[in-house]
Amino acid sequence: MQRYSSTLGTALAAVLATAVIVGLPAAGWAQDPKNPDWPCQQILVPTLSPASVWDGPSIDGLGDEWQRDPAVATLVRRASDDSVDPATLEPEAEALAGPAKQGASPERDHRIALAFAGTFQTLDRRRSAAIASIERYAQHQRALRERIAAALRDLDAVSGDPARAKEITDAIAWDRRILDDRRRAQGAVCEQPALIEQRLGQIARVLSALLS
């Protein structure tokens, strides 16, 4: 009877472990068929082009020139600060650019372009970091799923050892808990690049409206 109970316990553990693995996302969890390791519904755009949000003067070749102008650098820092509403930056940007004059003003437009160049550079780096973080997240999730699958295979090999079977089942349950916790945070994680793009677009509109 005792042997029967032990065997039954092992079988039940295997059933429970199998139930755990059933709820895991399938290997084809990616939303973007062109990027099978990308876990987000948003299509992955690895790099941004300034022209996608900016219709002002080209910022090619400006490099870090914006950092050498203290007023421009201050505006860039505020424009890149998520706690600052982009709509409130217009007076600061206008003061930075100087008074508008009739006709084209290359100097004014150049400072506005510098402000955008600095903002684009800063937010684009932040966006790249967010994408790298999502990719690490995806790698960690995949590693957890693979570890659970390996544990299930180990479980099949210890059918005559209830103690070891319970140890493996507990480990699977723990990994599944971590997997689920991370998956619940996936939506917020995946939104980060899009939120950065949205802010960049808002800043670009504020600045481009001041061009002569």
Q: Which long-range contacts (CB under 8 A, 24 or more apart) does 30-39 make?
A: 37/135, 37/138, 37/139, 37/142, 38/134, 38/135, 38/138, 39/134, 39/137, 39/138, 39/141, 39/186, 39/190
Instruction: Print burial letters for 176-193: b (CB count within 10 Å at least 16), e (below 16).
Output: beebeeebeebeebbebb
Measure CA 153 to chain center: 33
pLDDT score of 32: 63
pLDDT score of 106: 79
Q: What is the pLDDT of residues 41-69, one digit of tens each?
A: 888 888 899 999 999 999 999 899 999 99
Mean pLDDT estimate for the chain: 83
The yes-or-no verdict on residue 208 having pLDDT over 70 is: yes
pLDDT > 70: percent of the chain: 82
The yes-or-no verdict on residue 21 having pLDDT over 60 is: no
